[in-house]
Structure 1
């Protein structure tokens, strides 16, 4: 009640003030258009302008509000299409997972235009087309994926590389993966696919360069790591002669290297546990001897055998052409720990031959053949007896050698001797 009375009082005061102004401040409006003129008092004209302004304002608001239903209809239609596209996308992904490639590709492609995530549609459709053998269509869908979404080059490149690897286009896949590696050097999936591609094309140098990252990010288990590292360095040792004969830059030293330098840098680069692996030691010692470093190979094998006994290394030690007298002396010291080792006896026999100790060589060969009859020991005895003029013994051991070797051969069909 008080507010109403206050409002009436204020309204009367304002009205009185406005009336006083109309009396005390006279004036008029004159509007002339052509031969027609309109004249009215200032205050009446002012009221007309204010009323016209308010009418225009509310009219514009009315027109603007009439526009909103169309926007709402458009927005509703867009949301409806997105919901339908989402349903079709889910349906297409289910079809893809169940191996219905043709239908999956069709559904996913149709839903791509209205999908809120067209990248998913195009990539999934590309996979479906790939599994149908429609490789050109798969490539086209990958191009559509690039156009549809900015900043997805890595994801698209990974799918592309995987599809190329599946098709057997390894070189093209490696080109894509090499580009991705430069952009994201530690991306796990890039590294996995690079490993697969490098192994497929037997690019062991490529595998070697990514091995540390494969291990750091636990992308391969311990057993696979051991097998892969051994394979990599074994194959690189075998490739060292060809590497040294070319002008290729070594990724280890970043320069051209000789065969020996390549062998040495590979030996330094490999993990510690591989430097005590017998197979690696055999390869390394053979490479050293091939590059006129037989003394270095002898020292390596001798020190290794002093602590880790291995038949293959013992036999390799007896074939090195260095100081035969020192070799024989050192090898005979191993007899105290390995008195019945047939391979050591065979090596001692060969070292005795290189020292011209014919009788000692005969004893060692016979002892080796007694410990474990072998075609190799029998052949050495046959050759020795032939050189000593003992033809009957020589023929006997040649025959025994042939028999022992024949036993080691696999069972295979032979032509019948019946005539």
Structure 2
């Protein structure tokens, strides 16, 4: 109450003082612009300016409280555009689901700039373009997706790699996926697609390097991984010599082959297929003696009937020593047809013809096989026992050819005709 009274007294005093000043000296103000002039007293100009300021302030307050309609109009326009984009997106997805690729691409690409999830629109539209064979259109849509959603570059790059793979652009696909793997090394879709791409390219070296990632992230079943691993390393081993120039020296070839074998994972060095491949390549290089030593060591560490059969075909530096080694195997595996076949062959290398015949006959008795019959017939033929050879041939045909179908046969008196 006192404060209000004091304020009123101050205003009255100020008004009286100001009125007296106005009476004493009203002042003079002249404003001239071009041919127009305004003359007034100083006090009238000050009062007019104060009134104008108060009026402008009140007007602005009123306008701010009234909310200018243009803002609402702008918001209404945006909501309408969003509804339109949503409607077109739904139509595009329905068309895509129905296989109407042209309509799907049109609706989805039109709605993409204002869609809630523009990346989905662009990627699906790119897929629709791809289905129409419009590779250029698909790539342009993916480029727009990158520009619109740079934070989702990984998804766009995966879509790009998928389209490249389907087009058969395997080199481009590998480039895209290799860059992606650097950014997202454990992404399952990237690894799975990279695996398929490398298989198509026949890049077994790259697949061998990718195997740890495939295994760690469980991209393939364990059985498939093991088969893939074996295939990769068998191919790499087989290509180790084929990649060398034709004029490469013999010793260099041997070193390259040995290095390729040493680079194999330890757990694969006892795999029968890899061992046979390595031995075959040593034989091709004329290194049969090295192959014999290697194969002997393999059989010692991991017994394998097929490797024993191959051992009998090898000519080592000491045929007598080979025969003695095979005799020890017979003591450990007395009823093994493959050991007996190998003993027969090694006996022939040592000139023990009678013992060779005995080993071949024992092998046939345990397990009739084409190799044993062929070796025995060949030996007997050279020994002049033709009648026995004829009997064995008939016996071998009836044994090894037991799966032949029942067919009509000519009489003995029949003649051969065309």
What SS does the aligned partner of 2:56 have? helix
Q: How many residue pairs are counted as aligned between the two chains?
A: 405
Correspondence for 1:275:
269
Q: Do the aligned residues in 1 keep the contact of 2:327 with 2:343 (CA within 8 Å)?
A: yes
Pick the aligned partner of 1:373 from 364, 368, 376. Answer: 368
Correspondence for 2:88:
88
Name which of structure 1's ranges 142-151 and 221-230 shifts more when overlaid on structure 2.
142-151
1:388 aligns with 2:389: no
Deviation digits for residues 215-239 of structure 1, max 9, x if unmatched? Answer: 2222222122111101111222222
Correspondence for 1:199:
199
Correspondence for 1:357:
352
What SS does the aligned partner of 1:244 have? coil
Q: Do the aligned residues in 1 keep the contact of 2:337 with 2:366 (CA within 8 Å)?
A: yes
Q: Do the aligned residues in 2 keep the contact of 1:349 with 1:364 (CA within 8 Å)?
A: yes
What SS does the aligned partner of 1:218 have? coil
CA root-mean-square deviation = 3.4
Correspondence for 1:6:
3
Deviation digits for residues 355-393 of structure 1, max 9, x if unmatched? Answer: 222121111111111111111111101111122222222
Deviation digits for residues 79-115 of structure 1, max 9, x if unmatched? Answer: 2322332343245335535655454334323322321
What SS does the aligned partner of 1:31 have? strand
Correspondence for 1:298:
292
Q: Do the aligned residues in 1 keep the contact of 2:240 with 2:260 (CA within 8 Å)?
A: no
Alignment of 1:4-403 (within 5 A): 6-20=3-17, 23=20, 28-33=27-32, 36=37, 38-42=39-43, 44-59=44-59, 68-97=68-97, 99-182=99-182, 184-245=184-245, 259-322=253-316, 323-403=318-398
Alpha-carbon spacing, 1:413–1:202, altered in 2? closer, same or farther (3 Å)? farther
Q: Distance in 2 between matches of 1:10 and 1:404?
A: 132
Deviation digits for residues 255-296 of structure 1, max 9, x if unmatched? Answer: xx9544443344333333222211122112223343455444
What SS does the aligned partner of 1:205 have? helix
Alpha-carbon spacing, 1:278–1:111, altered in 2? closer, same or farther (3 Å)? same
Q: Distance in 1 between matches of 2:394 and 2:169?
A: 54
Alpha-carbon spacing, 1:109–1:326, altered in 2? closer, same or farther (3 Å)? same
What SS does the aligned partner of 1:220 have? coil
Alpha-carbon spacing, 1:396–1:300, altered in 2? closer, same or farther (3 Å)? same
Alpha-carbon spacing, 1:241–1:35, altered in 2? closer, same or farther (3 Å)? closer
Shift of 1:175: 3.7
Gaps of 5+ in 1: 248-256
Q: With the length of structure 2 as denominator, give the TM-score of the two structures.
A: 0.83
What SS does the aligned partner of 1:122 have? helix
Q: Do the aligned residues in 2 keep the contact of 1:245 with 1:258 (CA within 8 Å)?
A: no
Q: With the length of structure 1 as denominator, give the TM-score of the two structures.
A: 0.83
Alpha-carbon spacing, 1:398–1:214, altered in 2? closer, same or farther (3 Å)? same
Q: Distance in 1 between matches of 2:403 and 2:258?
A: 37
Q: Distance in 1 between matches of 2:182 and 2:199?
A: 20
Gaps of 5+ in 2: none
Alpha-carbon spacing, 1:48–1:334, altered in 2? closer, same or farther (3 Å)? same
What SS does the aligned partner of 2:276 have? helix
Correspondence for 1:251:
none
Shift of 1:54: 2.9
Alpha-carbon spacing, 1:24–1:405, altered in 2? closer, same or farther (3 Å)? same
Q: Distance in 2 between matches of 1:363 and 1:86?
A: 88
